[in-house]
Structure 1
Amino acid sequence: MSTIDTGLAPSPRSRCGSGFSHVAPALVLVALFFVAPVMALLLRSVTEPELGLQNYAQLLGTTTYVRIFLNTFLVAGVVTLVSVAIGYPVAWTLTVLPARWAQLVFAVILLSMWTNLLARTYAWMVLLQRTGVINKTLIGLGVIDQPLALVNNLVGVTIGMTYIMLPFVILPLVGVLRGIEPSILRAAALCGATKAQCFFRVLLPLSLPGIAAGALMVFVMALGYFVTPALLGGTANMMLAEMVAQFVQSLVNWGMGGAAAFVLLTVTLALYAVQLRLFGAGRMR
């Protein structure tokens, strides 16, 4: 028995209902495990110890807390710049390498991502300490006379976090660079462009979405990083995530901890909104 084709397309309402049923489980998970905890944190930040905005006023009006905020953005900015400066040449090298060698380098990068974060941080502590491998090698080669201070300062935090963040710059950049047609660069060269002009006027502008995506990912992750700055930076280079943990775990001050965490979340969402405004969701993907 043959079916009769009525020729009628499904109504927009039915399509909308079918699409919502597909994303409903994800929305429920986001609501339960993200929206609800954030709202609870926001509520505690304005109700403990009493109703009002005194936690935010104290957080943004105390010199010590403001210094921690500034240090957090300084570390995140430095790590982002260094990661992009190192990650871009690596991504370009992966783009032009033969497939076999590119797969090998990719495997090394992915292996570094899968290694335990705490183990990687402790490894850098061993390498960077005054009696570590790096200082001993430099002294043995006669480059320096005294060990360099590479831990418990901004240098150690930058080195450790850059190593961890590099894959998050390299991977999106490789995808963007591989999508650029080589014929565009050849056409620029045939028109008389030098190698520097091909890079700065052709390759770099076309790869900006990948740079922006990787830089935003690194910057946002660096703002909330805890383990590496705590072990390699020390108390003199405390970051916002360490302060939140101290408020909650040591001082049991959920009001101040919630206020600091909510300020960090607001800054993160604002940065993401600015990037979407500049590059658009389609180019970011």
Structure 2
Amino acid sequence: MSIEMRRSFGTLRMPAGFGGLLPALILVTLFFVVPVLALLLRSVTGPEPGFQNYATLLGDGTYARVFFNTFLVASVVTIVTVLVAFPVAWMLAIMPSALASIVFGVIILSMWTNLLTRTYAWMVLLQRTGVINRTLMDIGLISTPLPLINNLTGVTIGMVYIMLPFMILPLVGTLRAIDPMTLRAAALCGASPFDAFCRILLPLSLPGIAAGGLMVFVMSLGYFVTPALLGGTSNMMLAEMIAQMIQSLLNWGLGSAAAFILLVVTMALYALQLRLVGAGRATGGV
């Protein structure tokens, strides 16, 4: 065989390293691509071929209210989670490593606790005769119990608690990568602590905030257990509506259309973040 023919055969060979990716590609195809295609097919074929399911979802005021509640809850949970997680992440970044490991272990331990157990615990704490209302009444801050459950307040509290570790993890990695000498240099130049935070620390921590914020927002969009148990019927979210359509109403077409819209919105948000901050910064350095 001539050298030219050998070179031509070499160009037709499988790329180096592709064989190692083949199992992963098969898994992605079987467990992601095929279900998504089946979901799309069901949304445009049931009960009749066409796009009437999408027209119903986007044109009916009841379903529009569910979409509004979903994005409102996800936005509120993301904002509150960032506000709570930032000082915790900064504390973990600057405290001694031994103490930080203990606190970090407590945070990770909360992720390993059963989700349903944690949600029921918040139901006990937030109800009208729960520990929180009884404590506030005993110390004289309130005279009547606060409505902390079956509304947006209860959903926000429960979901923020569950989402905190997912925001803290990328934030800690980003904050630990910031050189402390940068803040000291700002102080030596006359910057106040507030100016150093707004002009140096906050901009440098934006990749971690973006990565954690996207993760929390996307997970909140599709959350089911916590909103179903802590929220009321007036605050139904999209995941709960999809479950009701498929399990109770057996309306697979409408449920599949709602699930596909949620998937498209999620992918669009991730693509937008990649466009704005780049692939490397979108992960927050994790």
Q: TM-score range by the shorter chain?
A: over 0.9
* Cα shift at 1:234: 2.1
1:6 alignment counterpart: none
Distance 1:15 1:209, change over 3 A: farther
Matching of residues 200-239 of structure 1 within 5 Å: 200-239=198-237
2:71 alignment counterpart: 73
* Cα shift at 1:21: 1.3
RMSD across aligned positions (CA): 1.4
Give the whole-Å Cα distance in 2 for the aligned partners of 1:16 and 1:122. Answer: 53
Q: 2:131 aligns with which of 130, 133, 141?
A: 133
Q: 2:239 aligns with which of 232, 238, 241?
A: 241
Q: 2:25 aligns with which of 23, 27, 34?
A: 27
Q: 2:108 aligns with which of 100, 107, 110?
A: 110
Q: Deviations over 1:133-190 (max 9, x none)?
A: 0011111111110011100000000000000000000000000000111111111112
Q: What residue identity is the alignment partner of 1:216?
A: L
Distance 1:27 1:136, change over 3 A: same
1:279 alignment counterpart: 277
Q: Deviations over 1:230-280 (max 9, x none)?
A: 000021110000000011000001000000000000000000000000100
- Structure 2: which 5+ runs fail to align? 1-8
2:81 alignment counterpart: 83
Matching of residues 6-21 of structure 1 within 5 Å: 17-21=15-19
1:94 corresponds to 2:92:
yes
Q: 2:44 aligns with which of 36, 43, 46?
A: 46
Give the whole-Å Cα distance in 1 for the aligned partners of 2:189 and 2:130. Answer: 52
2:173 alignment counterpart: 175
**More off after superposition, 244-253 vs 179-188:** 179-188
Q: What residue identity is the alignment partner of 1:160?
A: G
Q: What residue identity is the alignment partner of 1:197?
A: D
Alignment TM-score, normalising by the size of structure 1: 0.94
* Cα shift at 1:13: 5.3
Give the whole-Å Cα distance in 1 for the aligned partners of 2:258 and 2:201. Answer: 40
2:153 alignment counterpart: 155
1:193 alignment counterpart: 191
* Cα shift at 1:24: 1.3
Q: Deviations over 1:45-98 (max 9, x none)?
A: 000111100000001000000000000000000000000000000000000111
Q: Secondary structure at the match of 2:16?
A: helix
Q: Secondary structure at the match of 1:17?
A: coil
- Structure 1: which 5+ runs fail to align? 1-10
* Cα shift at 1:16: 6.5
**More off after superposition, 184-193 vs 116-125:** 184-193
Distance 1:190 1:124, change over 3 A: same
1:144 corresponds to 2:142:
yes
Q: Secondary structure at the match of 2:43?
A: helix
Q: 2:61 aligns with which of 57, 60, 63?
A: 63
Alignment TM-score, normalising by the size of structure 2: 0.94
Q: Secondary structure at the match of 2:17?
A: helix
Count of equivalent residues: 275
Give the whole-Å Cα distance in 2 for the aligned partners of 1:210 and 1:16. Answer: 38
Q: Secondary structure at the match of 2:129?
A: coil
Consecutive aligned runs of 4 or more in structure 1 exceeding 6 Å deviation? none
Q: What residue identity is the alignment partner of 2:39?
A: L
